[in-house]
Chains A and B, each alone.
Chain A
Amino acid sequence: MAPVDAAMIHDITGPLAIRTFLEMGGERVFDPARVVMLFDHQVPADSIPAAENQAIMRRFAAEQGILNYDLREGVCHQVVLEKGRAAPGEIVIGSDSHTCMYGAVGAFATGVGSTDMGFALRFGALYFRVPETVRATVTGAFPERVGPKDLILSIIGDIGADGATYRAVEFCGEAVSSMGMAGRMTLCNMAIEMGAKAGIVPPDETTWDYVRARRPDIEPFPLASDPGADLADSRTYDVGEFEPQVAVPHNVDNVVPVSRVAGTHVDQVFIGSCTNGRYEDLAEAASVLGDGQFSDRVRVIVIPASRDEYLKALRAGLIERFVEAGALVEAPCCGPCMGGAFGLIAPGEVSLSTSNRNFRGRQGSAEGLVYLASAATAAASAVRGEITDPREV
């Protein structure tokens, strides 16, 4: 059993976690200051059961003295990092599979189910198997309109949907160390899509600047990748020759260069999610859009990942640009990636999404098709009404 430094619960998996906590005889959570609560999957509540689940959680937070960000702040993983609730060397769990995103700040972070979470809320600890490590060394400089999403899709396509099961994936090399925090979050976020327990980027100055801005009490300490580590697998990638990548239905590891699927008609484009809903993604999308308009044939849904990211985009004029171009801009939440709240697709429809999963039925009908790509590719495709190489717009 290892102690956990922070535990995150949201509106979908939280009610079950609270129930298991109580069934385990839990009375007070191990440390209310280490519990992060927020609602992002079905906000504002889209049904009476969703409202009831959120009400259960609000009551629990009040009883336990837990700071509940409620529906105000945005998508859970973005908020955990923004609020400094994960830091280098910490062990953080969340009852959501994309919790592995906090590896972007050098934390060991992993997604767990509700019963694991109930146990952690009760005891402040959880059982873990120490994962083996897969190292992805990335060299080169990204060409224009190619970025972290294209890289992680390539890596997933290479390693496979279960190629890193139970392992930690370490991202290193010059293309990673020169990447800002937003890109590192995109990489670590999708480690789970190859089965990984965690993704991690070794902390450097970029990491510490981000963390210290939120946790000034933490003194930076050395925490580096071990060059002599006994690795389960090691892969190298050179992004210098990369082209934009697309994951095609119905698995995240079905990855092809955009040229292979260019021209595919799209009905809906979603730019957002914990994977690609940050200011940097929205700025990239706006840059591709330029002064143009989104196609009338496409429903374009833009959702900033958090209130902070929303404000940054708003102040930079990006939101106005998206609205002018014909997009729906929604308040921070999981949106269509949740596949239940709104933005569902009909049988036979095609969604192109910057989110992280294209499983059958993920965004509505099991007869629909979901493609995954970067914000740049999504914006270009929304302009043309078909999957489009962003370098051509």
Chain B
Amino acid sequence: MTEQIERESGGIRTVEVPRSAASPRVWKFGDDIDTDAIIPGRFLTINDPAELARHAFEGTRDEFAQSVLPGDVVVGGRNFGMGSSREHAPLALKGAGIRYIVAESFARIFYRNAINIGLLPLTTPSTDGFADGAEIAVDPSGGRVTVDGKEFPVEPVPEFLQRIADAGGLIEYARIVGEVETCSTTSR
């Protein structure tokens, strides 16, 4: 899509503009998508989400970083985000404007990391019907996603994690709680 915009200097030019947020699309991935694929090790000195986003899936799916748009939804199969604890992986997706990741299951550390930085990882029994590039609408509170007009159920995140998600992430949650109460451990 192109549109004419007025430059600050007063001239007129034609530029690519993002599709509207009302038409997010599916970026479909398979099973066992690992964190090295999401962000390769050689980019881990980068801590800025927007800069990380420029290298998301580099080498395994280069067109993602080139044409992902804010609001798009990453869809995976089983065990999405397996591997490293590198928070750079969900941060790269966040930097690309991703808000939701829908998969059949998630690797544990990635799942926590996503919640902690304000992304919402949602599970659904099967993503077979989610075509790459399809239009998608995510309604987490309604427990469903709509892909090309067809509805699929998504499971809610556990209640405690939902509180962190509602706060906007663990940093915001920590600011709200101020102090934490711990359970006792009985090992010693």
**Which residues of A are at the interface with B, using a C-beta cutoff of 8 A?**
1-3, 12-13, 15-16, 19-20, 23-25, 41-42, 47, 49-50, 52-53, 88-91, 95-97, 99, 111-116, 118-119, 122-125, 127, 129, 161-162, 165-166, 192, 195, 197, 221, 223, 251, 338-340, 344, 357, 359-362, 365-366
In the complex, chain B residues whose CB is within 8 Å of the CB of A95: 85
Chain B residue at smallest Cβ distance from A129: B158
- Judge whether B60 and A361 touch: CB under 8 Å: yes
Does B144 reach chain A (CB closer than 8 Å)? no
- Contact A20/B171 with A339-B42, A357-B83, A366-B59 known, Cβ cut-off 8 Å: yes
Q: A24-B175, A197-B108 are in contact. List 11 more A-B contacts (CB 8 A).
A: A3-B185, A12-B44, A50-B45, A113-B109, A115-B113, A119-B116, A165-B107, A340-B45, A359-B36, A360-B59, A360-B60
Say whether B37 contacts A162, CB under 8 Å. Answer: no
**CB-CB under 8 A for A195 and B108, given A24-B174, A119-B170:** yes
Residue among A90, A114, A223 with max Cβ neighbours from chain B (10 Å): A114
Q: Which residue of A lies closest to B88 (CB)?
A: A16
Q: CA of A47 to CA of B46 in the docked complex: distance in angstroms?
A: 11
Q: Which residues of B sit under 8 angstroms from A50, Cβ to Cβ? A: 45
B82 within 8 A of A: yes
Chain A residues with CB under 8 Å of B83's CB are: 97, 192, 357, 359
Give the CA-CA distance A49 to B32 in the complex, in Å. 30
Point out the residues of chain A lying under 8 angstroms from B180, CB to CB.
Answer: 1, 123, 125
Query: A47, B45: Cβ atoms under 8 Å?
Result: yes
Query: Is A162 a contact of B87 with CB atoms below 8 Å?
Result: no
Q: Contact residues of B with A, CB < 8 Å? A: 32, 34, 36-37, 40-47, 59-60, 78-79, 82-88, 90-91, 105, 107-109, 112-113, 116-117, 158, 160, 169-171, 174-175, 179-183, 185, 187-188
Indicate if the CB atoms of B182 and A1 lie closer than 8 Å: yes
The complex places the Cα of A52 from the Cα of B48 at a distance, in Å, of: 14
- The 10 lowest CB-CB distance pairs between A and B, nearest first, are A89-B187, A339-B41, A366-B59, A113-B113, A49-B45, A340-B42, A162-B79, A115-B116, A340-B41, A24-B174
- In the bound complex, do residue B47 and residue A16 qualify as a contact, i.e. CB atoms below 8 Å apart? yes
Interface of A is mostly: loop
Of all chain B residues, which has the CB nearest A223?
A: B187
- Chain A nearest Cβ from B58, distance in angstroms: 8
In the complex, which residues of chain B have a beta carbon less than 8 angstroms from the beta carbon of A125?
Answer: 180, 182
Shortest Cβ gap from B170 to chain A (Å): 5
Chain A residue nearest in CB terms to B161: A127
Of B41, B44, B87, B90, most buried by chain A (CB within 10 Å of CB) is B41
Given contacts A16-B47, A122-B174, contact A1 B40 (CB under 8 A): no
Give 14 CB contacts A-B under 8 Å. Answer: A1-B182, A13-B87, A24-B170, A47-B45, A52-B45, A97-B85, A113-B85, A119-B116, A119-B174, A123-B180, A165-B107, A165-B108, A340-B42, A340-B45
Instruction: Give Cα A6 to B61, complex, Å.
Output: 38
Cα separation A96 to B174 with both chains bound (whole Å): 22
**B36 lies within 8 A of A362 (CB):** yes
**With A and B bound together, what is the CA distance between A16 and B39 in angstroms?**
15
Is the CB–CB distance between B60 and A366 below 8 Å? yes
Contact of B185 with A116 in the complex, beta carbons under 8 Å: no
Residues of B within 8 A of A16 (CB): 47, 87-88, 91
